[in-house]
Homo-oligomer: A and B are copies of this chain.
Amino acid sequence: MPKVGMEPLRRKALVDAALRVIGDHGSLSVTMSEIARQAGVSPALAHHYFGSKDQLLIETIRFLLRRLRDDTVTALRAADTPRARLSALIRVNFQADQFAPATIAAWLAFYAEAQRSEETRRFLVIYARRLRSNLLADLKPLCPTDAAERIAEGAAAMIDGLYIRQSLRSAPISIEASISLTEDYINSALAALAKGQTP
């Protein structure tokens, strides 16, 4: 055989390259040639391993999702109270690598793509649900379930919104400011509840 065992290396290199190209091109309208060139291989090889451009893009979004999930798991492990886990959850979503312009551009591009590709949409729905349910799990110990559901929904929306707004790079908010805005939302929502419960 030839240099056996190239496949996993090439796949990784191609996904990385795809992410980079999408990132600084700011769109999924990138060519296989460009991706392949960035990965240092021929366009034909990219097709050999992924079958189609769509498939390579799907793998790329899976990668983004997996990275976020892994970061989340790690962050949650380090926190031990519900409130601390909420903070960890927020922080993860604004972590440096998630906030990198290229990453933001890629997420955005995939959001747009989700309107066309059912498979892409499924992945993003998974992300959206996961964020919401992670928040929910740690809000439930802190307030009634129905309130927890609303706050989880609101916090998830705020996180996504801050993230998207970042993509415009107008009046860019710092990571810390984004985090504290979300923290404040949860704090005051919980405080308003507590006040309402003991009138």
Say which residue of B150, B170, B185 sits within 8 Å of A154 (CB atoms): B185
Interface size of A by CB at 8 A reads 48
A114 with B167: CB separation less than 8 A: yes
Interface readout for A103-121 with B: 1 if CB under 8 Å, 0 if not? 0010011011111100001
A141-181 interface with B by 8 A CB criterion:
150, 153-154, 156-165, 167-171, 173, 181
Q: Which of A6-14, A24-32, A81-89 contacts B (4 or more CB under 8 A)?
A: A24-32
Residue among A29, A116, A160, A187 having the largest count of chain B Cβ atoms under 10 Å: A160
Does A198 make an interface contact (CB < 8 A)? no
Q: Knowing A184-B189, A191-B188, A191-B192 touch, does A165 contact B128 (C-beta < 8 A)?
A: yes
* Smallest CB gap from A182: residue in B: B154
Say which residue of B114, B164, B170, B185 sits within 8 Å of A160 (CB atoms): B164
Main secondary structure of the interface of A (DSSP, over half): helix
B154 with A181: CB separation less than 8 A: yes
A185 with B181: CB separation less than 8 A: no
Does A124 make an interface contact (CB < 8 A)? yes
B171 with A129: CB separation less than 8 A: yes
Identical copies of this chain, number: 2
Does A73 make an interface contact (CB < 8 A)? no
Say which residue of B158, B167, B188, B192 sits within 8 Å of A161 (CB atoms): B158
B-binding residues in A (CB < 8 A): 25-29, 105, 108-109, 111-116, 121, 124-125, 128-129, 132, 150, 153-154, 156-165, 167-171, 173, 181, 184-185, 187-189, 191-192, 195
A-B contact pairs, 30 of them (CB 8 A): A25-B115, A25-B116, A26-B112, A26-B114, A28-B112, A109-B115, A111-B111, A111-B164, A111-B167, A114-B167, A115-B167, A121-B169, A128-B165, A128-B171, A150-B181, A150-B184, A156-B165, A157-B158, A157-B161, A157-B181, A158-B185, A160-B165, A161-B161, A161-B162, A161-B164, A184-B189, A185-B189, A191-B192, A191-B195, A192-B192
